Amino acid sequence: MILTIDSLLTLPELKELTESLSQAEFVDGKITAGWHAKLVKHNTQLDKQAPQVQKLQNLVIMALERNLLISIAVRPKKIHSLRFSRYDIGMSYGTHTDNALMGGGEFLRSDVSFTLFLSSPNNYSGGELIIEQSQGEVSYKLEAGSIILYPSSFLHRVEPVTEGTRLVVVGWIESLVRDEYKREILFDLDTVRRSIFAKEGKSIEFDLLCKTHANLLRQWVD
């Protein structure tokens, strides 16, 4: 399941991120790429030793954690490995799949990947996120402050930037439910029970859906 969410960030949060990053030091993005991804990764990233890293990471994580749709669709256990990435003219990231395990010695799974857009699409050309899906390649270029989340197992790439600067935050989520199809079943059940409750209040049907949802969650949570 692929989710796009408009305005994950508030305008003050977006302003704080972009202003802070405009004064920050960026380094070669290959530093954090796997041995094969280094061949196709051409961007820069905020230096992980930069003094503002922790504050900016916390801001993004809090925005993700407060969003109800992310909570019920992704079931985050750990949001991790955030990277503040910049693509200037000529930069791109060729086709790759994300590493299954991240976080160094923590061995955190990458079940769901996300890209949080910080630059307005009007301020740069190119730089589309291309995700390879069963129906073919799909292109994404969202408004500043909006986010896309997708299974980390998908092949994807970032097209070359031909004008301006593309600024994004990328990161990964280890879900309580590692199987994407099970997550979708839980999401559908949760959506239906919320809809029934909004229309009818607490009913027999609502209670049965709650029971089924809770029992599946007990079986499937890692």
Residue 88 banded pLDDT, cuts 50, 70, 90: very high
Locate the domains of the chain by residue range. 3-175, 180-220
Residues present in the chain in total: 222
- List the beta bridge partners of residue 85: 45, 168
Selecting from 2.60.120.620, 3.40.30.10, 3.40.50.970, 3.30.43.10, what CATH number does the domain 3-175 have? 2.60.120.620
Specify binding-site residues for Fe cation.
Answer: 96, 98, 156
Q: What is the DSSP string of 197-214?
A: HHHH-S-HHHHHHHHHHH
Average pLDDT of 180-186? Answer: 97
Chain segment 16-72, per-residue pLDDT in tens:
999 999 999 999 999 888 788 889 999 999 998 999 999 999 999 999 999 999 999
pTM: 0.95
Is the Cα dihedral 134, 127, 6, 99 positive or negative? positive
Specify binding-site residues.
Answer: 96, 98, 156, 166
pLDDT above 90: residue 134: no
- List the beta bridge partners of residue 149: 3, 114
Specify binding-site residues for 2-oxoglutarate.
Answer: 166
Q: Are 56 and 17 in contact (CB under 8 A)?
A: yes
